[in-house]
Amino acid sequence: MFLSLNRKIIYMIFTLTLSSCLLFLYTFYMAYSVKIQKDQQLSIQRNQQYNSLLLNNINIIKELKNFVNKNHITIDAKKNQYLHSLIFDTENVNFLVKEQQSIAERNAQFSEQYKTIKHGVAIITISTVLQLIFLFITGWIIKRLILTPINNISAISEQISLGNISLRIPERKNPHFIDELDHLTSTFNNMLDNLQNMMNKIKEEENFLQSIIDSIPDGIRVIDDKYNIIIANKNYYKLVGNSSKRPAKCYASSFGYKSPCNTVSFKCPIHEIIQNSQKSISTIQQFSHSPNNYLAVNAAPLFYDNNHHYIIESIRDLSHDIDFSHQQKVSSLGFLSSSIAHEIKNQLGAIRIIIEHFIIKYFSDKPDNAEDKKLINMIYNEIVNATKVPERLLKLMRNRDLSYTSFDCVAAIAETVEVLDYEAKINGIEIKLQAPSKAIMLTGNETDFKIASINIILNAIKAMPQKGIIKIKLSSSSQGIQISFTDSGSGISKENLHKIFTPFFSHGSQSQTPSGTGLGLSIAKSIIEKQGGNITVSSTLGKGSCFTFNFPSQKDLPKSKQQTIKTINQTSKRGKNK
């Protein structure tokens, strides 16, 4: 129980004063009053006995005198002087009367003494009251001069312990006499001023440090060995979709977990660096805020002191790198198409002209059913088909527009199959296209859509090293548009099924070649999602896989997107009319 200092002092002074008064009264009463009362009682008893004897003597003398007078007895004064004086001397009677009066006066004196004692007690009582008044005055002075400054210091100290360092202890204005408490108050306020200045400097340095790391384009965070995020920059909070500062734990901020990540199935930078003493670690992660984005996390130990262990993580969103790689791939494809067009097409054109001349010169007179003429015509037709391959590749890159338009996805898939049909056949793979006769209009970028389809088909071809079949099925309903790519290849294991869209992930025959970059599926996924769709995959190890493009119905597109497409289409029509 808290008991203030001023109460302690007041209670202590009051207790001591009251105890001393009571002790004095008790001592005075025991030492004087009781003794006087006993003496008075003894004196009264003796006086009463003395009075009784005197009364008896007086009565005896009176009776003796009456007897002498009644019987006319003569007593010789000379012979019986004592008896004569006892009977006939009136002075004895007066003496007795005087003695009685003297006894009465002494009793009265004892009563006066007792009254004096009562007056003394009254005086002591009044003195006690005055002393209590003096006590309260003294307590008020002590409270004003000592206890109030101490209480102010205590109250301000309590507020400072809660973090409010802007308060100050009120000081006396123009004091005539300065004591230790005034000096303590002034020193305490100076200490608070210095502390606040130091806190402001530390805060300025923290803000400067925060500004430095906020200017870094990658997400930056520092984590201790207890999974606490010590500091992070704005780009990190954008990645995790959290505007508040300093979430409690890294796993809660990144993945929304309530406990640390499982280090058996997850590569945790804290576990690898602090517990396994690795110098650095790089990994790919997907945060719960944006599960479709892949983040490259580079972590390294941070050496600050010997009592704590920290790691610093640099987190980069790979979406921009994937887009850049996508652009590079498109540029490479365009350059390759141009090279093929200028190199192979010219050579094939020359061979075609030679064979045409050869047919005209040596086979014009022969019937069409002649075996040698059939063979030479087959060679000619294959050369014509081979000449169309670079033309189709150039068509993919010709007049490429990154804007969204409405295109026929059936025709786009058919052209993609024509481009890859030759590569499929030389690997003993048959591509079967199942599509409706009417057009299926899709909103997006046609070139990007073809590139995504090419990546899926190429992965299917590489997954079937020993021949196979690729089935492509297009369907449209009120629910949306579905395009499925089913192969009879080696399939994908359950352990790797959720990793195949991770950038730079390569698993040989299951998804990509061992020398692949691991970007094909991630690029395809990025393209389809940017066009408002998504990719789903199902696979059985040893039996094959099925990738499906899912697009919403064109009626379900946002109005702003429909308006943009409408404007683009109108602009393109005007350009054609001109």
CB-neighbour burial class of residue 483 (10 A; exposed 0-12, middle 13-18, buried 19+) = buried
> How far is residue 295 CA from its own chain's centroid?
23
Residue 189 to residues 153, 198, 396, Cα–Cα distance (Å): 10, 14, 78
Classified as helix, coil or strand, 288 is coil
Which alpha helices (H) appear in 215-299, and where do they start and end? 234-240, 250-255, 269-270
| Strand partners for 552 | 480
Q: Is the pLDDT of residue 247 over 60?
A: no
The one-letter code for the residue type at 120 is G
| CATH number 2.60.120.260 is the correct assignment for the domain at 319-400 | no
Classified as helix, coil or strand, 538 is strand
DSSP letters for 19-76? HHHHHHHHHHIIIIIHHHHHHHHHHHHHHHHHHHHHHHHHHHHHHHHHHHHHHT----
User: For a pLDDT cut of 70, what percent of the chain falls above it?
Assistant: 71
Other C-beta atoms closer than 10 Å to the C-beta of 293 total 15
pTM of the model: 0.42
Average confidence (pLDDT) over 409-425: 86
- The reported pLDDT for the residue numbered 515 is 42
Contacts of 284 (CB under 8 A, 6+ apart): 294, 295, 296, 297, 318, 502, 503, 504, 505
Average confidence (pLDDT) over 541-553: 90
Given this chain, do its domains 319-400 and 401-578 carry the same CATH topology?
Answer: no
Residue pLDDT, tens place only, 331-354? 665 566 566 666 777 777 788 888
Average confidence (pLDDT) over 13-37: 70
Distance, in Å, from the CA atom of 462 to the CA atom of 481, rounded to the nearest integer, reads 26
Q: Is the pLDDT of residue 455 over 50?
A: yes
CATH code of 216-317, in short, is 3.30.450.20
Contacts of 308 (CB under 8 A, 6+ apart): 224, 225
E-strand stretches of 211-271: 219-224, 229-232
Nearest to 549 by CA among 568, 564, 565, 528: 528
For domain 401-578, give the CATH superfamily: Histidine kinase-like ATPase, C-terminal domain (3.30.565.10)
- What percent of the residues of the chain are helix, what percent strand, and what percent coil, each to the nearest 5? 60, 15, 25
Nearest to 549 by CA among 447, 419, 457: 457
- The reported pLDDT for the residue numbered 471 is 94
The domain spans of the chain are 5-159, 169-209, 216-317, 319-400, 401-578
